[in-house]
């Protein structure tokens, strides 16, 4: 929810860099607006942010207590603690039946740092990266700050809101500067997923075109229709990015990981050394223990599944009938064009008049997002039920 910066201009010796002129991450502005309303006494239901409503797993929190009392919290290796890298590699055998060498694992300060490292390690200024739209806005913002352009592929119902290999091949012919494709499955904001066959065909198309394939797998573990498949099954050269934020319910701990081809390990390590030194030591301890919390984490997923079912029936009853099919993650992407052509104003009014915070689609799709709103169902079932009740009473949803 963009807002004007009312702070007095500073006296600077020269203008800020061009790379700092990235658009705002709008969901963070919505969070700020919701927090201001709460500070004024309003009861806000948070459906704007993709943050689990649960705490980090109990095993992770207990591990941190032990760690604080026994460790000096010093630097780790730039690529992460060997024990955590080995445990992440083991995770791929447990979940997917795929063998991963721990030496290929890079522990990062959240997936955000992983994207920075990947983009800096793979792409040169002046090159382009294919990004499906709608999609996570920080991809294109980080790329632009690094002098790399985004080549947008508009997706829609005909392709289940996912790109196809034909799209990749055609774009590469049109734009020789394309150096990579990034796909998230499940996707943010739509929650749709790639079928294994299409994932394999996209990787083949990238291989044939001589470009990188980056797979954002941050919502793996949170699927309700199709099973999630890792890109590593189809190519050892795929770059996989994941995080402890979503399935593991550890957003604020800022800990994630990458799997990269052997030839990229040292280049990425050099970047990590210089940019981040190492991932946070305490978060690494928590992450290692989080792998032992599967029953708790699966129970969290059961709540998300119940919330999804509640909203898929409740939002249409409130008048929001055009919702993108959601296979995973914890988002519903709703077409609100019946009510508005300005999703920013629409979500601002929703927040002020109902206390329900949601994110305007323009954050995820600059061209068409004015008629979409993303709802996150990562909170409690009681909160989701109350949100539906409030929206049913909202006069703007003329049914």
Intra-chain end-to-end CA distance of the chain, in Å:
26
- In order along its 399 residues, the chain shows pLDDT tens digits of 555 555 555 578 888 888 888 888 888 888 898 889 999 999 999 999 888 989 999 999 999 999 998 878 899 999 999 999 999 999 999 999 999 999 999 999 999 999 999 999 999 999 999 999 999 999 999 999 999 999 999 999 999 999 999 999 999 999 999 999 999 999 999 999 999 999 999 999 999 999 999 999 999 999 998 889 999 999 999 999 999 999 999 999 999 999 999 999 999 999 999 999 999 999 999 999 999 999 999 999 999 999 999 999 999 999 999 999 899 999 999 999 999 999 999 999 999 999 999 999 999 999 999 999 999 999 999 999 999 999 999 999 975
* Short-list 382, 3, 368, CA closest to 155: 368
- Give the separation between CA 284 and CA 73, rounded to whole angstroms: 10
Q: Hey, do 18-55+295-392 and 58-293 end up sharing a CATH topology, with the first three levels equal?
A: yes
Question: Which distant-in-sequence residues (6+ apart) come within 8 Å of 256 by Cβ?
Answer: 107, 108, 109, 110, 111, 112, 113, 114, 218, 241, 242, 243, 244, 245
395: which DSSP letter?
Answer: T
> Strand 128-133 relative to strand 178-184: parallel, antiparallel, unpaired?
parallel
Element at 92 (helix H, strand E): helix 82-96
CA distance 129 to 237: 17
- Interhelix angle for 262-276 vs 110-122, to 10°? 120
pLDDT at 185: 97
Q: Hey, how many other C-beta atoms are within 10 angstroms of the C-beta on 16?
A: 9
Question: What residues does each domain of the chain span?
Answer: 18-55+295-392, 58-293
d(CA 225, CA 98): 22
Polymer length of the chain: 399
CATH architecture classification, 18-55+295-392: 3-Layer(aba) Sandwich (3.40)
Q: What is the largest CA-CA distance in the chain?
A: 60
Please report the pLDDT score of residue 399 as a whole number. 59
State which fold the 58-293 domain adopts: 3.40.640
SS3 106: strand
Name the strand (E) or helix (H) holding 243: strand 239-243
**What's the CA gap between 224 and 51, in Å, rounded?**
18
Q: State residue 6's pLDDT score.
A: 52
d(CA 150, CA 237): 21
Residue 224: what pLDDT?
Answer: 93
């Amino acid at each position: 929810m963009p807002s004007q910066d009312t702070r007095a201009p500073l006296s600077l010796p020269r203008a800020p860099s061009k790379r700092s002129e990235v658009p705002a991450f709008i969901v963070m502005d919505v969070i700020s607006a919701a927090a201001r309303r709460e500070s004024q006494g309003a009861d806000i239901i948070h459906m704007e942010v993709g943050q689990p409503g649960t705490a980090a797993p109990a095993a992770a929190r207990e591990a941190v207590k032990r760690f604080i009392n026994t460790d000096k919290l010093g630097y780790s290796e730039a690529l992460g603690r060997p024990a955590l890298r080995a445990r992440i590699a083991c995770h791929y055998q447990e979940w997917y039946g795929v063998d991963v060498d721990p030496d290929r694992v890079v522990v990062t300060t959240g997936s955000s740092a992983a994207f920075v490292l990947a983009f800096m390690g793979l792409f040169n200024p002046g090159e382009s990266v294919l990004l499906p739209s709608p999609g996570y806005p920080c991809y294109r913002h980080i790329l632009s700050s690094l002098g790399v352009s985004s080549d947008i592929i508009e997706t829609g119902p005909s392709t289940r809101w996912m790109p196809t290999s034909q799209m990749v091949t055609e774009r590469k012919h049109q734009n020789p500067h394309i150096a990579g494709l990034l796909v998230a499955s499940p996707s943010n904001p739509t929650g749709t997923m790639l079928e294994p066959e299409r994932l394999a065909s996209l990787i083949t198309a990238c291989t044939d075109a001589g470009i990188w394939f980056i797979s954002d797998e941050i919502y793996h573990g949170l699927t309700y229709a199709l099973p999630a498949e890792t890109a590593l099954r189809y190519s050892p050269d795929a770059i996989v990015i994941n995080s402890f934020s979503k399935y593991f319910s550890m957003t604020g701990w800022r800990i994630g990981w990458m799997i990269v081809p052997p030839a990229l390990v040292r280049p990425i390590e050099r970047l990590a050394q210089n940019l981040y030194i190492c991932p946070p030591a305490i978060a690494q301890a928590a992450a290692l223990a989080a792998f032992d919390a599967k029953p708790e984490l699966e129970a969290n997923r059961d709540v998300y599944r119940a919330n999804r079912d509640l909203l898929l029936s409740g939002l249409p009853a409130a008048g929001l009938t055009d919702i993108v099919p959601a296979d995973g993650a914890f988002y519903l992407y709703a077409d609100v064009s019946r009510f508005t052509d300005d999703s920013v104003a629409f979500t601002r009014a929703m927040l002020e008049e109902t206390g329900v915070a949601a994110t305007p689609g323009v954050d995820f799709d600059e061209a068409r997002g004015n008629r979409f709103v993303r709802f996150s169902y990562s909170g409690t079932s009681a909160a989701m039920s109350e949100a539906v009740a409030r929206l049913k009473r909202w006069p703007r949803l003329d049914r």
